[in-house]
Amino acid sequence: MNNIQSPGDGAETKRILIIGGGFAGLNAALELGGVQGIEVTLVDRHNYHLFQPLLYQVAMAGLSPADIATPIRSLLSTYRNTSVLLGEAESIDLPGQKVKFDFGEFPYDYLVLACGATHSYFGHNEWEQYAPGLKNISQATEIRKRVLSAFEHAERITDPDEQKKYLTYVIVGGGPTGVELAGAIGEMSRFTLSKDFRRINPSHTRVILVEAGPRILPMFSEQQANRAARDLENLGVQIWTSSMVTNINEEGVELGSERIRAATVLWAAGVEASPLGNSGGMHVDNRGRVIVEPDLSLQGYENVFVAGDQASFTHQTGKPLPGTAPVALQQGKFIGRTIREELKGKPRSKFHFRDKGQMATIGRSRGIVEIGRFKLSGFLAWVVWLVVHIFYLTGFKNRVLVVMQWGWSYLSFRRGARLIVGKEWDPPTEQKPVSEPEDQDVPVSSEH
């Protein structure tokens, strides 16, 4: 096994190892970039930083993957004390202060874990091949292929029952991702594709959003959730609440004794954290999230921090903070500043999340925004959503491309990334369920 040395290995140089190039890991690296006396190494399994809030736009053919992804090296290239490596972490030796990667072992003085999360199928991982989730670009392009291919299959067959199956889409999970996917499919079928086919009428597409709870968007107020439900219904989306999924296969979805025949099923329900924390012997909650101290450090290891979807931070509200981009971004910045200040001899402070509100979009020109008591819906909310997301897009080029692409889509009702590409779907199988026994009905709900 190779023992990888950091570029500035020395007695006085502190080695900061960051695993994960998402919002948390990237912002921690940015805070530490250019600081004297430290060497920062960021390791990620991909060579790009992905703007996940817009991933559904790739899945729905509104944007291309390059519009929402930027190479990590280019984002950190100005900092001479920062290195980027492509690799995957396999195990952590906390007492020995080193991490085993697929390319060798790497020692550290400070470790930042920001490995994110993946979907949880609540003990039914076999469902993934029939209902892909939406966490990365490969999943987004797979969803795009399935959604568009279903229309193509329906166009070339004559059996009405089979056509109905291919023109039925089921989204499992009524959180923001599920709502955005359902709205995008409803809009695409009724506007974008309405004139493209001759043997089928895409506007007759059936889109069903399934939620186990009593209403969709439980993290929003009931008033805002009801407004979103009405907007979805105007796009032809059927909302099934208080509905538990009991099985998913190639024929569709089973909800107890009821069955929905559908060729395309999408998963936007439970999530679980990266298994790296659990494999390292850390204390985790029932979703695999590492339980952290008020300063985001690991109990018993003050030089190890955990952030983003991988962390369970309950010290502010009594329950874990949601796995959203603003939480990860603020935690990453906090960790970077904490390490920087500690090396100057300053004491640590407690992390406090500044909630700047939440928002979701429904289709092309509808949305909901909730900032404390301030609530906004409809077109103005969609504009706010658009401005905020473009502002946080990494890289000026990405912002310009997204504005141009969306402007064209808005004016023409066209989508410029309607390409069916990609190999056969081969979902990962290494993920193990964190909780829930396999022989029970699954209470499917939203992502958070």
Q: What's the pLDDT tens digit per position in 165-187? A: 999 999 999 999 999 999 999 98
CB 207 within 8 A of CB 263: no
- Catalytic (active-site) positions: 180
- In angstroms, the Cα distances linking 268 to 176, 370, 417 are 9, 21, 22
Integer Cα distance of 400 and 415 in angstroms = 17
Confidence (pLDDT) at 6: 47
pLDDT in the model for residue 63: 81
Report pLDDT for 127. 96
Query: What's the CA angle centered on 139, arms 285 and 118, to 5 degrees?
Result: 5
| Residues 130 and 250 sit within 8 Å (Cβ to Cβ) | yes
What integer pLDDT is reported at residue 428 of this predicted model? 59
Q: What tens digit of pLDDT does each residue of 342-400 get? A: 999 999 999 999 998 899 999 878 999 998 889 999 999 988 888 887 777 666 566 66
User: Residue 422 has what pLDDT?
Assistant: 62
Output the pLDDT for position 119: 87
How far apart are the C-alpha atoms of 198 and 156, rounded to whole Å? 10
Instruction: Please list the ranges in the chain whose pLDDT falls under 50.
Output: 1, 6-11, 413, 429-448
State the burial class of residue 348 (Cβ atoms within 10 Å of its Cβ: 0-12, 13-18, 19+).
middle
- Alpha carbons 143 and 425: distance in angstroms, whole number: 10
Q: Please tell me the predicted confidence (pLDDT) of residue 437.
A: 36
Measured distance CA(210)–CA(253) in Å, rounded: 10
- Structure confidence at residue 424 (pLDDT): 59
306-343 pLDDT, tens digit each: 999 999 999 999 999 998 999 999 999 999 999 999 99
State the pTM of this model. Answer: 0.86
Query: What does the pLDDT read at residue 443?
Result: 42
Smallest CA-to-CA distance from 171 within 36, 62, 74, 265 is with 265
pLDDT given at position 415: 53
Q: Are 363 and 231 in contact (CB under 8 A)?
A: yes
Name the DSSP class of 292: B
CA atoms within 13 A on the CB side of 146: 27
> Looking at residue 442, what is its pLDDT?
42
